[in-house]
Amino acid sequence: MKAQVKLLTKAIGLRPDIVWCFDPYRFLNLKWFKASVNIFFAADLFYYDHLPEEAFTADVCLGVSDTIVELLKPACKTAHFINHGVNRHFTRIAQEALDQLPGTIHPKSKITVGYVGNLLMEAPDRNTMKKVISAHPDTQFVFWGQYEIKGNFVAFDKPEVFDFVRFLQSQPNVVLRGAVHPSVLSEEVKMADMFWVCWQTTTSKMWDGSNSHKILEYLSTGKPVVSHYMSTYRDNNIIDMLDSKDNSEYLSLFSQILKRVRSGELTDLQRDRILFAMENSYRSHIAGIEKLIESRFS
């Protein structure tokens, strides 16, 4: 890998000022680039038993959840939390939603619940999700995300994954939209009255449920979000989540929020969600990282 780094810098023709590494366990020693600043960005939990070597050679480490940051601290003295980002399509609909306030949401008689994410990945708690869908036949569930087995984008080739897809296809109250471009997704999610995310939080090394980028996309609409216990959001009330990693009460929580949505959502709750999403735009995060670097190296 050291030889590869030399080839990369030779191809660039200049010594890089900053190296920003998103890929753990690959380049091993960021100092090989001889840059002035080395950044390691951890967007997911680490899939090996040891911390990425890049974290030990970074000047600044960034993690997208509280648990990731805690893992990074022994390797990197400058380990900071930075949330996922909202792209320009969702910042636009966030502004639109904000402009439409004040008011309360009084949805149509049939509630639409939205879910965004790859349905072939390991994370979803499929058994709990089946229970929720079966228990609410008068509620429409719309899924955006890959569910078809094509190409090489099957994240986990396990029987329960495909059993779940077949279950969804068989339910009259489920609509599978598949993977769509963010510009399309940002428009279509407006149809939802509420959103949900329900992950396994105790059975996988790669998914502890501590954060998810889809949360910010949900919040940009101002609509309610029902979630498993998500530790990154434990100190605020902008999502409705369980108070422990045990998902046994998820169905009860979902039904409770569904009932609340039917009665109408308060303006203040909607505004808080929208503003939180807007504060986490990619543009604002880049500005924050720049300030962090300036304070660290000035």
Integer Cα distance of 228 and 236 in angstroms: 14
Given a cut of 70, whether residue 243 has pLDDT beyond it is: yes
pLDDT tens sequence across 96-127: 999 988 765 556 678 999 999 989 888 899 99
At 108 the pLDDT is 66
Given a cut of 60, whether residue 152 has pLDDT beyond it is: no
82, 129, 176, 182 from 120: Cα distances, Å: 27, 14, 13, 19
At 137 the pLDDT is 96
When pLDDT is cut at 50, 70 and 90, the band that residue 157 belongs to is low
pLDDT tens sequence across 176-216: 999 999 999 999 999 999 999 999 877 666 667 888 889 99
User: How far, rounded to the nearest angstrom, does the alpha carbon of residue 44 sit from its chain's CA centroid?
Assistant: 10
- Please check whether residue 103 is in contact with residue 267, taking contact to mean a CB–CB distance below 8 angstroms: yes
Integer Cα distance of 274 and 180 in angstroms: 23
When pLDDT is cut at 50, 70 and 90, the band that residue 47 belongs to is confident
SS3 call for 20: strand
Integer Cα distance of 109 and 139 in angstroms: 9
- Please check whether residue 73 is in contact with residue 42, taking contact to mean a CB–CB distance below 8 angstroms: no
Cis check: omega of the bond before 16, within 30 degrees of 0? no
Look up residue 170 and give its two tokens. Answer: 């068989």
118-127 in b/e form (b: 16+ CB < 10 A) is bbbbbbbbbe
Look up residue 45 and give its two tokens. Answer: 């939990």
Query: For residue 65, is it left (φ>0), alpha (ψ between -120 and 50) or beta?
Result: beta
Q: Could you write out the DSSP letters of every residue in 206-269?
A: S---S--THHHHHHTTT--EEES--GGGTT--SSEE-SSS-GGGHHHHHHHHHHHHHH-B-HHH
Given a cut of 60, whether residue 295 has pLDDT beyond it is: yes
User: Which residue has better confidence, 156 or 26?
Assistant: 26
Closest by Cα among 41, 33, 37 to 7: 33
